[in-house]
Amino acid sequence: MKLKDIAEKIGARIRGDGDCEITGIASLENAAVGDVSFLSNNRYRGHLRDTHASAVILREQDADEFTGNVLIMDQPSAGYGRAALLLAPERETVAGTHGSAVISPSASIADSASIGPYCVIEDDVHVGARVDLGPGCTLGAGCVVGDDSRLVARVTVCAGSQIGKRAVLHPGVVIGADGFGLTNENGIWKKIPQLGHVVLGDDVEIGANSCVDRGALKPTRIGNGVKIDNLVQVAHNVVIGDHCAIAGCVGIAGSARLGKRCSIGGGVGILGHVDITDDVMVTGMTFVSKSIDKAGIYSSGSPLETNQQWRRNMVRMKKLDELAKKVAHLEKQMHGKKG
């Protein structure tokens, strides 16, 4: 594509040769002639001097740091995403059903849908227009998959689950498996039937091998535009508000509720039955043990340090209770003398 065509489609202002031919997209460090790149993180600013990219997407204040062609945008990372879709478009769905698929006679499948090898579609399933089911996907009885959704491969959607429009579920995703519902009777764990289901909104994307459990009685709900990374566990009856982003290896325990536009860093643990309000960011490896009722950025845990220093700190930490008692005693003595 010509650079001027890319600029028009991604909403950028161009500085330089609009007729420059662009054939790919790459990082500043790895870009070659013909590639477009971008800068959105200051730690990579040094690569602007050495990059071979034919054009770079930059903010207005950074444009003069690159002597070549520039696409100027307020959010270069958003421009990168739009350019990537132009230069590496997703393959179009080819309608049809592979001969190895097993489909119930009561299932309703749009003529424009694509059903891949070894898919299993059970009773009363509804598959919408232009849905793409990759190899080995299973849809349990009564499931609904909305228009233009893509289940990449080996995705399991258990009975009664509802997938919205334009969803992307990556390999190994499981939607609607039983929640961890147990009761302890005299030291023995007994299973509680999980009678709810899962409802995914529109434009949801879920990464490889992530799981969203069905509710115990009412649905587990994932809002519109939610993006979930790989290896994330969403337990039964969780509610996640619209446009949240959840990074890898997060665990969200049962009946937790996240508001809209929350960002959850990698490895975060969220305790069950807590409520998190809108516009909260939780940084990586944080443990959320209580509700958050005010928007902002939250963190917990201690950062990395040398083993020697960590051991010293742990020894001192074990003495904190003793130290606190001594300080309280001294304060009491001081107040007594003042009196």
Note whether 104 and 41 are same-domain residues.
no
Taking only the tens place, the pLDDT of each residue in 288-333 is 999 999 999 999 988 889 999 999 999 999 999 999 999 998 988 8
Note whether 228 and 255 are same-domain residues.
yes
Neighbours of 102 (CB within 10 A): 11
Give domain status of residue 164, yes or no: yes
DSSP state of 172: T
Give residues with Cβ within 8 angstroms of 299, minimum separation 6: 282, 283, 286
What is the percentage of the chain residues whose pLDDT exceeds 70? 99
Q: So which residues are the catalytic ones?
A: 236
Note whether 186 and 122 are same-domain residues.
yes
Q: Which range has highest mean pLDDT (43-47, 87-91, 285-289)?
A: 285-289
According to DSSP H, which parts of the chain are helical?
3-10, 76-87, 307-318, 320-338
Taking only the tens place, the pLDDT of each residue in 137-176 is 999 999 999 999 999 999 999 999 999 999 999 999 999 9
Note whether 40 and 169 are same-domain residues.
no
CATH number at residue 69: 3.40.1390.10
d(CA 328, CA 13) in angstroms, rounded, equals 64
Taking only the tens place, the pLDDT of each residue in 176-195 is 999 999 999 999 999 999 99
CATH number at residue 183: 2.160.10.10
Note whether 57 and 173 are same-domain residues.
no
Note whether 247 and 155 are same-domain residues.
yes
The percent of the chain in helix, strand and coil, each rounded to the nearest 5, is 20, 30, 55
Last residue of a domain, one of 87, 122, 143: 87
Taking only the tens place, the pLDDT of each residue in 261-292 is 999 999 999 999 999 999 999 999 999 999 99
Note whether 154 and 62 are same-domain residues.
no
Q: Could you tell me the residue range of the domain that residue 169 belongs to?
A: 97-298
Give domain status of residue 92, yes or no: no
Note whether 182 and 322 are same-domain residues.
no
- In total, how many domains does the chain have? 3
Give domain status of residue 189, yes or no: yes
Q: Which amino acid is at 331?
A: E
